[in-house]
């Protein structure tokens, strides 16, 4: 088991975690709470554009950890696939303008296609985007999503599948994002994380918790400690594999969004020290 974290130097919060806040409120709120890292969702640009968004958060002393999110490659038509690739290249440009070193990929899944075909199209889409990402110095992280999202959000549902794509495309600009919510149930998780370490593909680490009962498939995640995920144990595996980057808190929760967001950030800090 990893020793507890004792300060907030590695704590990063996703703007979507405090969704009610504008980017300006989030930047101010995170900075006031003594944080150093922020992951910016594209929806948080809010018309100001990525360059201005980057300036804003840096003016509050925050580092941009990643841009969420690219992906959604599979489509039933060649035109749809080409459009998705264009959109991902645009996302790379946004990451560069924002000053984000990394884009998290939610890979997509097209209802009309088999999972196997969706997976092939995902690999093809990433392959098409990689040269532009490399030329801009932006890393891409495949985030395997929980199998409950296989039908519509991602046909990549295990770390093993994400690693297979990384091996196939073999680029220093391509790796994985390990999110405990999506992967905690996997009996192979420890060995898969270790393999990511050996392959130098462990690019990002996201935390939250799994609630019992979970009443919504999308927006009922828990704060660390509220559920059953062994977050600290998984952080230990991630660090044993060589990862020493930001620990990103990504929680979608209608219940928590309805609370005072400044107090919520303090609750995140407490849960981070106690459970992460």
Residues of this chain that bind a second copy (CB under 8 A): 111, 114-116, 119, 146-148, 150-152, 157-158, 161, 184-187, 210, 212-215, 217, 227-228, 230
Give least dist CB 229 to a second copy, A: 9
**CA pair distance 198, 36, nearest whole angstrom:** 28
**CA pair distance 179, 204, nearest whole angstrom:** 8
Q: Which is nearer to a second copy, 39 or 154 (CB)?
A: 154
Give least dist CB 120 to a second copy, A: 12
Q: Which is nearer to a second copy, 187 or 244 (CB)?
A: 187
Give least dist CB 170 to a second copy, A: 20
**CA pair distance 272, 276, nearest whole angstrom:** 5
Give least dist CB 159 to a second copy, A: 12
DSSP line for 201-247: -EEEEEE-B--SS---SSSB-B-TTSSS--HHHHHHHHHHTT--S-E
Q: Which is nearer to a second copy, 32 or 148 (CB)?
A: 148
For residue 170, the tally of other CB atoms under 10 A from its CB is 9
Q: Which is nearer to a second copy, 186 or 250 (CB)?
A: 186
Q: Which is nearer to a second copy, 185 or 259 (CB)?
A: 185
What DSSP character marks residue 3?
Answer: P
HSE at residue 201, side-chain half, CA atoms within 13 A, is 29
CA distances for 205 relative to 105, 106, 130, 244, angstroms: 13, 14, 21, 10
Give least dist CB 233 to a second copy, A: 8
Q: Which two tokens stand for residue 216?
A: 């919504």
Is there a contact between 13 and 39 (Cβ–Cβ < 8 Å)? yes
Give least dist CB 218 to a second copy, A: 8
Q: Which is nearer to a second copy, 59 or 114 (CB)?
A: 114
Any idea which residue has 């407490």 for tokens? 270
For residue 29, the tally of other CB atoms under 10 A from its CB is 18
């Amino acid at each position: 088991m990893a020793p507890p974290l004792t300060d907030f130097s590695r704590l990063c919060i996703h703007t979507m975690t405090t969704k009610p806040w504008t980017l300006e409120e989030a930047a101010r709120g995170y900075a006031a709470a003594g944080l150093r890292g922020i992951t910016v969702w594209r929806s948080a640009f809010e018309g100001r554009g990525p360059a201005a968004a980057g300036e804003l958060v840096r003016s509050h002393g925050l580092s941009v950890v990643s841009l969420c999110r690219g992906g959604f490659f599979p489509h039933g038509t060649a035109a749809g696939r080409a459009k998705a690739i264009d959109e991902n290249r645009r996302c790379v440009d946004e990451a560069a303008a924002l000053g984000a070193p990394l884009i998290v990929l939610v890979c997509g899944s097209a209802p009309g296609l088999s999972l196997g075909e969706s997976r092939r199209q995902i690999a093809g889409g990433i392959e098409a985007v990689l040269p532009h990402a490399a030329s801009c110095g932006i890393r891409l992280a495949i985030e395997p999503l929980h199998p409950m999202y296989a039908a519509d959000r991602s046909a990549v549902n295990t770390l093993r599948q994400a690693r297979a794509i990384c091996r196939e495309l073999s680029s220093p600009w391509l790796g994985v994002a390990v999110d405990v919510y999506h992967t905690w149930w996997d009996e192979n998780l420890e060995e898969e994380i270790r393999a990511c370490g050996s392959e130098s593909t462990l690019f990002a680490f996201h935390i939250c918790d799994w609630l019992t009962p979970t009443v919504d498939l999308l927006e009922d995640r828990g704060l660390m400690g509220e559920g059953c995920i062994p977050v600290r144990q998984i952080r230990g595996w991630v660090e044993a594999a060589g990862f020493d980057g930001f620990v990103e808190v990504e929680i979608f929760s209608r219940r928590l969004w309805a609370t005072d967001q400044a107090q919520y950030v303090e609750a995140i800090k407490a849960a981070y020290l106690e459970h992460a």
